[in-house]
Structure 1
Amino acid sequence: MNQTGKKRLAIVSSYSESCGNAAFTRVLHDTIEQYSDFDVEVVELDLRLLQSVNNYVRRKADIHIEKLCRQLAQFDAVNLQLEAGLYGTLPKDIVNRVRRLMASNPVMSVTLHSPRLSAPTASSIRAGIREILRLRIMTGLRLIMDELRGNVHVRINRSMITDAIKQGHRLIAHTRRAKYQIGVFFDYDKVDVHPLKIVPDGFEPDHSGLEKIRHELGFKPEDKLIGIFGYISAYKGHHDALKAIEYLPENYKLLIFGRQH
């Protein structure tokens, strides 16, 4: 507790960066402070350190995580905003850093922003095997390795969620589907669903932004626009969206808004 007698809640997240997670955290911080008796503090991740693959900087990033762990131990409760790319670029770094943070405080909730737990069908692996059988060995191996690399994010997610469950932490997902998948894969029921947006009854959407995009990019009135928003990274599912759009009629257009980690 602080000097006012309020319990202290830490939210671990990016904050000063221009990304969706930082914007979400800002809203979360202000809302909890307004509607609860907690004194809320954002414990900010230093993405310049954490996302580097330089060995010297990676060691500095690990020291940064250790400092955060000592800081989190002093709070009454912690909420960890969990999106893999916030904690590193290399899979081993991500898993190890998140594991240490999860062990820093027993009263913790973990908000899962990209909880993908199952990989797409292994069509590339089957195609790779066929190429090897035809003695096109390098082509086959390349197809297989591309498939395995593409599923790294699934293995990372499973590992991080397993660590959270071992600690007994409460999980927060944004969709009922994610909650169902966690129940199926891990037989774990300490999962709450917090939608990213609740649309009130009688809400009237503002279409002016959409119409501006249609006009500037030359889309026709009958075109159906599908948007993907946020950082572009392997675990976000952009490849799946590109594959899926091929099965839709020609008037369905995929728009990608974001930048790359």
Structure 2
Amino acid sequence: MIFNRKFGAPGLQRKKLAIISTYNENCGNASYTHVLKVAFSEIFDVDVIPLDLFLLQKPQPFINIHADAHIKSICAKLKNYDYVNIQFEAGLYGATAGAILRRMKWLIDAAPNLILTMHRVDVAETTSLIEAIGKSVRALRAGPLFHHFRNKEFSVLYHNIVLHCKEQSARKNVWIKVHAKREHRVIRDVFRFKNVIHYPLAFLNKEEQKKVKALPKADLAARFGLPQGSKLFGVFGYISNYKGIETAIKTVAQLPTDWHLVIAGSQHPQSIKAYKDVDPYLESILNLIANEDAERERKLAKLARVNHYLEKTEVVDERLTKPITDRIKFIGSLDDDDFVHVLRDIDAVVLPYIEVGQSMSGVIVLAMEAGGRVLGANNLSFAETRKYFGDTFERFDIGNHIELAQRLQAEPLEVEAARTAIFETYNIRNSVALQAQVFEGTYKNV
């Protein structure tokens, strides 16, 4: 076990740590940073230096001047700290790859002793330009071509950031932390930078896990205005196109009518555009719900015509009698505490994510820590999650709404004992203890 430090022992001089991240914002990074601050505070004196997203995420040149000044002001503060942790999600530091790289180089140069936490690392785009053009022509839209150039641009960005860390490591202590063994291999074996550690996302310590699990279970059906005795499965977080919400919606029609889908989240702030009446992805979700209901009504009308023609009454599938719209509940964003409790109390947490190169999902880890039933799609991200947590969550193939419905109705896996054993190793205290070893130069890199 990594966690063997005597936290808060008297007589020990505490070092100062700065965490650079979003803070007090409605985003997963800010929530994770709050958890880190609390955990690191058992070892160090910790300050969070918040990023000004209003400035940093604007592409206009006249605002970029102020955004650069904001980053330089953070750089000036770092000389007052022994250790620096940068929480890196590309979109938090700029609207273009060039601006992001420029600002990251300033921060890396200014940090006296650094762990750069990269929540995502992409390798170069393997699809050729010709293939991307072909996909766009076949799809009659520019999306594949746009994604080709954007993915290639950001793959180069990640590589350049790692290379800059490697250059700076020749004169000071610079490390990169990732949340998956796949990303660890990319940085160590592909980008050839040896100062890299991997550790899964972690949010709750053992005491917090016990506290959450000990609370009385809430009646979520009553809370969300659904019929008594309803069974609920939910998708969580920002409503984004990689979340596979379409699969969850199609699953509703396959389930008995006492099952309801809860969508806990809202559109991403960066998707809010002036004079845009509805986000395109959200609109596609609403259209899918309407189409599912139209298909249900078509089947119901066809059955009625057949019954009339045969002059008899057939038993109607009850799933055709209740509108899909009535079985889907949008509940909006939840605060951190409420989020954890809903993950625990809902009948099933569903993550039907498509594969987009995501490193590790915070939702899947937090749901397991809280003791919830979890079903995740067979994407590469959750394959990486299994390398740490084993078979402690259920799986189904990407997009297979029939399989998902079948698994929801089956008996849940018995995973509590296995999770308890795994969380002895992978928890927030051990995560920060490992990073403390890296900061203090006592970590043995193998």
Instruction: Give the TM-score normalised by structure 1.
Output: 0.72
CA distance 1:128–1:60, shift in 2 (3 Å): same
Structure 1: which 5+ residue stretches go unaligned?
233-237
**Contact in 2 for aligned 1:172/1:192 (Cα 8 Å):** yes
Q: Distance in 1 between matches of 2:136 and 2:84?
A: 50
Q: CA RMSD in A?
A: 4.0
2:28 pairs, out of 20, 34, 38, with 20
Aligned counterpart, 1:174: 179
* Displacement after TM superposition at 1:106 (Å): 3.3
Give, as a single letter, the amino acid of the residue that structure 2 aligns with 1:260. Answer: P
**Contact in 1 for aligned 2:16/2:45 (Cα 8 Å):** yes
* Displacement after TM superposition at 1:147 (Å): 2.2
**Contact in 2 for aligned 1:125/1:144 (Cα 8 Å):** no
* Displacement after TM superposition at 1:103 (Å): 0.4
Give, as a single letter, the amino acid of the residue that structure 2 aligns with 1:77. Answer: Y
1:70 pairs, out of 46, 70, 76, with 76
2:131 pairs, out of 126, 129, 134, with 126
1:190 pairs, out of 189, 195, 200, with 195
Give, as a single letter, the amino acid of the residue that structure 1 aligns with 2:50. Answer: E
Q: Is 2:18 the partner of 1:10? A: yes
Count of aligned positions? 240
**Contact in 2 for aligned 1:229/1:257 (Cα 8 Å):** yes
Q: Is 2:59 the partner of 1:58? A: no
SS at match of 2:110: coil
Q: Distance in 2 between matches of 1:58 and 1:196?
A: 32
Give, as a single letter, the amino acid of the residue that structure 2 aligns with 1:19. Answer: C
**Contact in 2 for aligned 1:125/1:147 (Cα 8 Å):** no
Aligned counterpart, 1:109: 115
CA distance 1:164–1:58, shift in 2 (3 Å): same
The 4+ residue runs of structure 1 with deviation greater than 6 A are: 139-142, 202-206, 208-211, 215-218, 249-253
**Contact in 1 for aligned 2:56/2:92 (Cα 8 Å):** yes
CA distance 1:130–1:182, shift in 2 (3 Å): closer
**Contact in 1 for aligned 2:123/2:155 (Cα 8 Å):** yes
Q: Distance in 2 between matches of 1:18 and 1:166?
A: 35
* Displacement after TM superposition at 1:54 (Å): 2.1
Identity of counterpart residues, as a percentage?
Answer: 27
* Displacement after TM superposition at 1:102 (Å): 0.5
* Displacement after TM superposition at 1:196 (Å): 1.3
Q: Distance in 1 between matches of 2:147 and 2:129?
A: 8
Q: Distance in 2 between matches of 1:205 and 1:116?
A: 40
Instruction: Give the TM-score normalised by structure 2.
Output: 0.45
SS at match of 1:6: coil
Structure 2: which 5+ residue stretches go unaligned?
1-11, 256-260, 271-446
1:145-173 per-residue CA deviation (whole Å, 9 max, x = no partner) reads: 44213443323222222222222221111
Aligned counterpart, 2:41: 33
* Displacement after TM superposition at 1:16 (Å): 2.1
Give, as a single letter, the amino acid of the residue that structure 1 aligns with 2:31. Answer: A
Aligned counterpart, 1:164: 165
Within-5 A mapping of 1:80-119: 80-119=86-125
Larger Rg: 2
Q: Distance in 1 between matches of 2:114 and 2:182?
A: 22
**Contact in 2 for aligned 1:103/1:167 (Cα 8 Å):** yes
* Displacement after TM superposition at 1:7 (Å): 1.8
* Displacement after TM superposition at 1:187 (Å): 2.0
CA distance 1:141–1:174, shift in 2 (3 Å): closer
Q: Distance in 2 between matches of 1:176 and 1:112?
A: 13
* Displacement after TM superposition at 1:51 (Å): 0.9
Give, as a single letter, the amino acid of the residue that structure 1 aligns with 2:100. Answer: I
Q: Is 2:55 the partner of 1:49? A: yes
Q: Distance in 1 between matches of 2:214 and 2:190?
A: 37
1:22-78 per-residue CA deviation (whole Å, 9 max, x = no partner) reads: 1111111111112x1x21111111111111122221101111111111111221111
Q: Distance in 2 between matches of 1:146 and 1:77?
A: 37
CA distance 1:127–1:94, shift in 2 (3 Å): closer
**Contact in 2 for aligned 1:224/1:251 (Cα 8 Å):** no
CA distance 1:31–1:241, shift in 2 (3 Å): closer
1:80-132 per-residue CA deviation (whole Å, 9 max, x = no partner) reads: 1111111111221111111110000231111111223354x527741525988
Bigger mean CA offset, 145-154 vs 87-96 = 145-154
Q: Distance in 1 between matches of 2:105 and 2:67?
A: 14
CA distance 1:30–1:127, shift in 2 (3 Å): closer
Q: Distance in 2 between matches of 1:71 and 1:189?
A: 28
Aligned counterpart, 1:235: none
Q: Distance in 1 between matches of 2:185 and 2:156?
A: 18
Q: Distance in 1 between matches of 2:39 and 2:157?
A: 30
